[in-house]
Structure 1
């Protein structure tokens, strides 16, 4: 089939800048699409944490004119490089006033007051850059609210621009909670005309993600279950009605993972390698993990891991409400994460109260995350909502059975334990209550102690599964082609 020209716009990309899962997707999906033979180009802001020398970035000749409505035309620099270990070009929009800051979106937890202008500028710059490069995209793949203005611009400001004559747009929603809500005067900066105000309007302000949903040729989320959930009041964050109306163009495509990094057979960050046919190294990794967290080295008890933000979304309040009951069981728990200050203090105190059963590291270290995945027997992920989730997929590969709440990608990837042990790869519950969490952990612990064969069969089931980017890339390719055919009226 013909190769596609794909322009991928994201506010963060691994390894250059990351705050969440969007960066992982933006750093991995283009590689998988390139492997299918497509011409993929990435664009992101040149935050000042992006090291120009480390990544051998080169400054392109000439400036990039970026019209900003009533603010007039601004001029940006553009750095170019490649995604590491690939030939995929990546371009960085350089504008010190907007991106020369220590944070991507905020500082000390406070969002920048000009985030509206920052990302409208970036979105317009993406369009202008395509013209400067003489790159005619078949599809522009926008991500989250930061680039949701691109589908709007494509259908209005660039509707009659021959450069984008048949260009379609895909908007991927990685987390609907964040929508880009600003005062309505931003319409003058966006420049698409006030006749489009009600496509973005929400309670007298504008919602950039709402406008992107209206104008995008297709919308995707990062799991099938999340695509269903965001049409409901519980998970729709006020946009469920609009999304339901636009459900004809909504698709759920599960994120993949990079098994070159997250596999116990090759993981460079763990002490001992193991795999489905030789699990001896997992027990040795467990001993190492217990040492790391100053816990007694007891191989006979289940060790439960947690890696994630200490935030409400991740179910951290459920864990806090349940922790004393959980630690009455003959188990150990290790935790890695940072976030809400009360949670950091609370779990640090729990570690002091239960030094032989609970260990925590406040902060984030990738090497410790890998060691927790490898050395734990079970992995706790009781999220209130989880668009996709990656840690449960990592856990499957390491034979670390997930305990999850049945939401979003967690529900899509985890199948409950069956007494015969022939089916299932973890344990899940539905109600977001401490009782449900305690009972499900208790169920997993009971299985550990009383059904050794069943537990081992589930580990085998888990480690046999693959959620790689190749499969996801094929789904995106199919969706891109559908968008292109629709745009051309074929």
Structure 2
């Protein structure tokens, strides 16, 4: 099966969030299961730098206001797959990030930048590369969501799949830009890209793709409700028969405490002594008191209301008063950044904060933490809690989306049955989070039980080989096989 994966970022070349981790791990997993996979990416600077021995496949034609471009083909050794790259420096070679400038303002021409990606996918499906043509195009998130629409407009007989990584980010643009996309006029209506008078790239993917997936079974159900459907729940209910929920996996080559070169000491579920050495190293790095017998709670996250970090701010004084320690790595809302910095200044022995993102430090945080907090309002899948499970940092999560699918609360019955892997709460408020924090303290005081839960957590298998089988089954359904 020949599969073209279309995405805007890919680990380790370019990463702003979990999408890159998925895009970087899925091709190898699919290839291991027998598929032939190539990736299509925009020509961002980091992607161009990672593309080895590029050759020109052809010239991509302009469509409406979408400029033409050169299509390159080469190897991505750091990813382990072959790739097509849209070489359009005016669109993608910019000093800011992939989606926004240095002031975090979205680029005014994002509709053209990512329409170019969608048309490139359609042209590959149409046979622009005379040596390779996909049987199925798999588009990821709103940046690639125009690909199924462009394929329909061209009339290419190739199946399409669209994956929602986060429904909250939809790629919405003013209706006046529709004429620039090069699509037929009738595509701009409620049975197409139009959404409350505006353009909506996410809706294009949901409407035109042959199959839809998202990154956990629970999230697939939740987004069909008004509460989490972000206005698109009606369309998702209509298409529920072709909507799949497939859990993300963990890339063992990147996230494995037994052979992680970024952490202070290797360890596994049978030999946990290295976990304590990682905790001591993290305490030293962040200037925390070098106390081994207090629980260290960690957060590695974007600082947004969606991630529940305002709840963490509210409960942090109680956590510190109970004798716990807290470490945060993240950036986002400037008010939250200032508030966490303020708490670190008030309790330097107990609270350590690093604003920004550092992949190496992220590994050290997960390896050194006793509890990893993911108290999200909504969470399509979440990778952080999966990393926590793998590294024996017990996840403390809200029962929502993939968090509820992957973490089992330390209830008495779960402890007794050997199923407990973390701490789960329901109400999205400070009281719910604080109750889970208190359960974590209580379990931490029972060392034998704590170690038992750690080992159960580390024994969980959320690997990409399992996810790949789910995707292949969906691909076969899209192809009518």
TM-score by length of 1: 0.93
Q: Give me the whole-angstrom Cα distance separating, in 1, the residues matched to 2:421 and 2:385.
A: 10
- Give the secondary structure class of the aligned counterpart of 1:185: helix
Root-mean-square deviation (CA), in Å? 1.6
Is 1:146 the equivalent of 2:146?
no
Deviation at 1:194, TM superposition (A): 2.0
Q: 1:271 aligns with which of 258, 264, 275?
A: 264
Q: Give me the whole-angstrom Cα distance separating, in 1, the residues matched to 2:290 and 2:420.
A: 29
Contact 2:11 2:20 in 1 (8 A): yes
How many residue pairs get aligned? The number is: 472
Is 1:463 the equivalent of 2:458?
yes
Greater shift, 404-413 or 182-191, is seen at: 182-191
Give 1:92's aligned residue: 85
Give 1:104's aligned residue: 98
Q: Give me the whole-angstrom Cα distance separating, in 1, the residues matched to 2:348 and 2:217.
A: 41
Contact 2:320 2:350 in 1 (8 A): yes
Q: Give me the whole-angstrom Cα distance separating, in 1, the residues matched to 2:351 and 2:61.
A: 53
Q: How does 1:248-397 map to 2 (within 5 A)?
A: 248-397=241-390
Give a deviation string over 1:190-231, Cα, whole Å, max 9, x none. 333222222222221121211221111110001111111111
Return 5+ residue gaps in structure 1 as ranges: none
- Give the secondary structure class of the aligned counterpart of 1:60: strand
Q: Give me the whole-angstrom Cα distance separating, in 2, the residues matched to 1:51 and 1:200.
A: 31
Give a deviation string over 1:345-389, Cα, whole Å, max 9, x none. 111110111112111111111121111111111111111111111
Q: Give me the whole-angstrom Cα distance separating, in 2, the residues matched to 1:399 and 1:283.
A: 11
Give 2:14's aligned residue: 17
Give 2:37's aligned residue: 40
Q: How does 1:199-218 map to 2 (within 5 A)?
A: 199-218=192-211
Greater shift, 43-52 or 211-220, is seen at: 43-52
Contact 1:27 1:83 in 2 (8 A): no
Give 2:232's aligned residue: 239
- Give every structure 1 segment of 4 or more consecutive aligned residues whose post-TM-superposition deviation is greater than 3 Å: none
Deviation at 1:474, TM superposition (A): 0.7
Is 1:197 the equivalent of 2:188?
yes
Q: 2:407 aligns with which of 410, 414, 427?
A: 414
- Give the secondary structure class of the aligned counterpart of 1:308: strand
Question: For the structure 1 residues 346 and 85, does the alpha-carbon distance in structure 2 shift closer, same or farther, using more than 3 Å as the test?
Answer: closer
Deviation at 1:281, TM superposition (A): 1.1
Contact 2:374 2:398 in 1 (8 A): yes
- Give the secondary structure class of the aligned counterpart of 2:188: helix
Contact 1:64 1:129 in 2 (8 A): no
Question: For the structure 1 residues 67 and 437, does the alpha-carbon distance in structure 2 shift closer, same or farther, using more than 3 Å as the test?
Answer: same
- Give the secondary structure class of the aligned counterpart of 2:154: coil
Q: Give me the whole-angstrom Cα distance separating, in 2, the residues matched to 1:109 and 1:393.
A: 29
Deviation at 1:51, TM superposition (A): 4.7
Return 5+ residue gaps in structure 2 as ranges: none
Q: Give me the whole-angstrom Cα distance separating, in 1, the residues matched to 2:394 and 2:31.
A: 33
Q: Give me the whole-angstrom Cα distance separating, in 1, the residues matched to 2:292 and 2:13.
A: 39
Give 2:118's aligned residue: 123
TM-score by length of 2: 0.94
Q: Give me the whole-angstrom Cα distance separating, in 2, the residues matched to 1:85 and 1:367.
A: 17
